[in-house]
Copies of this chain bind each other. A is one copy, B any other.
Amino acid sequence: MSNIITVAAAQLGPIQKDEGRDVAVARMVRLLERAHQRGAQVVVFPELALTTFFPRWYHEDLNEVDHWYESELPSAATQPLFDAIKKLGLTVYLGYAELAFEADETGAVRKRRFNTSVVIAPSGEIIFKYRKVHMPGHVEYAPARKVQHLEKRYFEIGNLGFPVVRAPVGGTPVNMGMMLCNDRRWPESWRSMGLQQVELVMLGYNTPSLNMENKGFEAHHLRVFHSELSIQAGCYQNATFAVATAKAGNEDGHELFGHSVIVNPQGEVMARTTTWDDALAVADCDLEMCRLGRTTIFNFALHRRTEAYGRITEQTGSVEPPVWTSREGSL
């Protein structure tokens, strides 16, 4: 049995605010067909792949944004995607805004909103679901910002942890994990999945070309560097492959930087999209490559020291360190 699987990042160019799901879904079906032609078995779409990145638009009344959410999968609008998945025999990661009617922590069933991704099997079944944990942005309209980033308004914090599931791709079992966008910058996301022997992290993102908080200088080119740096370090330090797929280009006047990448367990970029349009990056991943890190430098059982990690789970924000003063007075 081969341990090589072929994976694709299926980047989407911009989806404008006034474009319907039919436009996005038709483009995604074409990408699935092209990925299949290139031998891909796993295809990863971006975060919020079916619509524009709507958290940049402020609405006081949350009910006004309901049309950007999916309350079922498949729906009439997304059925063509599921049909293509079944026809082509693909395993597909899909990011979307989820509207759920389910119990909250008080037990009350209510309308809940999550930034969600699923992995869909070649049978059309949902293998597993992830809800974004690291929610960037803010809740209220921020007058100082040129562009709003209202993810914290439009989505609750994900409540499914960082799940990893072992599922077959062709005849090969693969330990699959998911992230969404900002999760990739947080080593906690990667480590939570590394501790479950993840071999393939799938993640979609919508990342603007500038840090929009206007609190200091961050050059354009560093934005791409930071994205790749975080993904490469996450892969290396957890001995996993990753497929990271962007929504790219000028969406409603706002630039998203693209640069979808496939990264190996050594942290090397194997493939990268270099347009800001619908585009594929495809690579063969030998899952055997996950073994080296896992059995040597990053043999967690041998080398991790949880007794020294207390702050990571006991503390949310940072604290000031103690002050040292020379016995000899001022230095």
Docked complex Cα distance between A88 and B170 (Å): 66
Are B320 and A301 interface neighbours, CB within 8 A?
Answer: no
A197:B318 contact, CB within 8 angstroms: yes
Segment with Cβ contacts to B, from A47-55, A95-103, A231-239, A244-252 = A231-239
A216 within 8 A of B: yes
Query: Is the beta-carbon distance between B216 and A321 smaller than 8 angstroms?
Result: no
Query: Does chain B have a CB within 8 A of A313?
Result: yes
User: Are the C-beta atoms of B297 and A317 separated by less than 8 Å?
Assistant: no
Which A residues, 184 to 212, have Cβ-Cβ distances below 8 Å to chain B? 185-188, 190-192, 194-198, 211
**Residues of B contacting A196 in the complex (Cβ-Cβ under 8 angstroms):** 311, 318-321
Per-residue interface assignment for chain A, residues 97 to 136, with 1 indicating a CB less than 8 Å from any chain B CB and 0 otherwise: 0000000000000000000000001110101100001111
Instruction: Contact check, B136 vs A304: say whether CB atoms are below 8 A apart.
Output: no
Given A305-B133, A308-B188, A324-B165, A292-B216 contact (CB < 8 Å)? yes
| Complex interface bits, A155-168 against B, C-beta within 8 A gives 1, otherwise 0 | 00110011111111
Enumerate 26 A-B pairs (CB-CB under 8 Å) in ascending A order: A123-B331, A157-B305, A182-B297, A185-B237, A185-B298, A194-B318, A195-B315, A195-B319, A196-B311, A196-B320, A216-B291, A216-B295, A216-B296, A218-B266, A218-B292, A222-B267, A226-B267, A229-B232, A229-B236, A230-B233, A232-B233, A306-B313, A306-B314, A306-B315, A309-B313, A310-B313
